[in-house]
Structure 1
Amino acid sequence: MATVRRKCFISYHHADQDAVNQFVRDFDQAHNCFIARGLGEEMPGDVINSNNTDYVMAKIRERFLADSTVTIVLLGRCTWARRYVDWEIQSSLRRGQYSTPNGLLGIKLPSYSGSFPERFNQNLSSDFPRIDCYARHMSYPSSTSALVDAIEEAYQRRTTHQNLIVNPRARMSYNRQCQ
């Protein structure tokens, strides 16, 4: 049985552009693990020039999230500090009468600093003993099969774990300082 290639929205901090490009080339273009959607150099898409938060989020939903089913947050050193990452996660987790939220998967890039974006972190379990949660994260994939399995699990959790989504309405209004 052939593996289904899921359309994945890629959320990341532009400081990690080279690592993001490599990830997309390695796993989308070379190994066909998924279909990349988003605003990167290796992904088709137009830049959205506006300072209007609601307009930017509407355009991201319309152009990139509308036909994706999983959001992959590529976690680098300062990803946690980027407001657009917060906005993209918030939009990915939105539920509607006719829409299912995206699955949510974090992948640690080599520059990962140990901090998750707050909205992503809210969808992970910090309880002990561990209780279930909506999002998942992993180290940088060591194989295509590990990545395909993680994407598929995130895809399935869209319906099986939707009740565990934590998605407050307030968004980050500015980028945080990252050293």
Structure 2
Amino acid sequence: MTDIRHRVFVSYHHEDQEEVDNFLSTFGNERNVFTHRAVGTMSDDIINSDNTEYVMSQIRKKYLKDSTVTIVLIGKCTWARRYVDWEIKTSLRRGSFTPNGLIGILLPSMNNTATPPQRLKENLLGDDANEGYARWYTYPKRKDSLKNWIEDAFQARSTRPDLIANSASMFKYNRSC
């Protein structure tokens, strides 16, 4: 069996940069679970536009590019960030391309408790948060666990796309945390 490394896009709040860097270094570089792309700071042409179609097309074109799975790393205030909302919305967008699979992962500092971004939460559904399009997990301890989560999200693109909930308007501003 071929060892497939999916290309993931990592969405996060920059206050959590140290933990995000550790996640990317551990699972992306050292353990070779995935290849990744993460955004530094989005350019002003996206920030200052009120045209949601333009915003989503630019995020897809410039930042999500050839990724197939989006991982949202969840810290204390991730739920309140407009960029995270935009990245999730664009990841789930259907049309001329296949939506990304979607995973939420709690960062270690959250001690297994955090508020997921609303758009992620709407895609979890069910009592056990594993009945919708997306999944969410505590921070992985093993590379094979994360690899399985990514593969499940990748497969969801063809097995669960009818469960995508993505009709909410995009955040115009960050929320207060």
Instruction: Assess, with a 3 A threshold, how the Cα gap between structure 1 residues 131 and 26 changes in structure 2: closer, same or farther.
Output: closer
- Determine the structure 2 residue equivalent to 1:5: 5
Amino acid at match of 2:65: A
Would you say the 8 A contact 1:48–1:56 is kept in 2?
Answer: no
- Determine the structure 2 residue equivalent to 1:59: 58
Note the residue ranges of structure 1 that are not aligned, 5 or more in a row.
Answer: 41-45
Instruction: Assess, with a 3 A threshold, how the Cα gap between structure 1 residues 131 and 150 changes in structure 2: closer, same or farther.
Output: closer
Amino acid at match of 2:153: A
CA distance in 1 between counterparts of 2:124 and 2:130 reads 9
Per the TM alignment, residue 131 of structure 1 is displaced from its structure 2 partner at its CA by 7.7
Aligned residues: 171
Would you say the 8 A contact 1:6–1:69 is kept in 2?
Answer: yes
The DSSP-based 3-state class of the residue aligned with 1:33 is coil
Q: Does 1:136 align with 2:135?
A: yes
Amino acid at match of 2:114: G
Q: Does 1:36 align with 2:36?
A: yes
- Determine the structure 1 residue equivalent to 2:98: 100
Would you say the 8 A contact 2:124–2:130 is kept in 1?
Answer: no
- Determine the structure 1 residue equivalent to 2:152: 153
TM-score, normalised relative to structure 1:
0.88
Amino acid at match of 2:39: L
Instruction: Assess, with a 3 A threshold, how the Cα gap between structure 1 residues 26 and 173 changes in structure 2: closer, same or farther.
Output: same
- Determine the structure 2 residue equivalent to 1:21: 21
CA distance in 2 between counterparts of 1:19 and 1:124 reads 24
- Determine the structure 2 residue equivalent to 1:74: 73
CA distance in 2 between counterparts of 1:102 and 1:3 reads 20
CA distance in 1 between counterparts of 2:59 and 2:3 reads 27
Structure having the higher helix fraction is 2
Would you say the 8 A contact 2:8–2:37 is kept in 1?
Answer: yes
The DSSP-based 3-state class of the residue aligned with 1:22 is helix
CA RMSD between the two structures: 1.8
Per the TM alignment, residue 58 of structure 1 is displaced from its structure 2 partner at its CA by 2.7
Note the residue ranges of structure 2 that are not aligned, 5 or more in a row.
Answer: none
TM-score, normalised relative to structure 2:
0.89
Would you say the 8 A contact 2:125–2:131 is kept in 1?
Answer: yes
Q: Does 1:168 align with 2:167?
A: yes
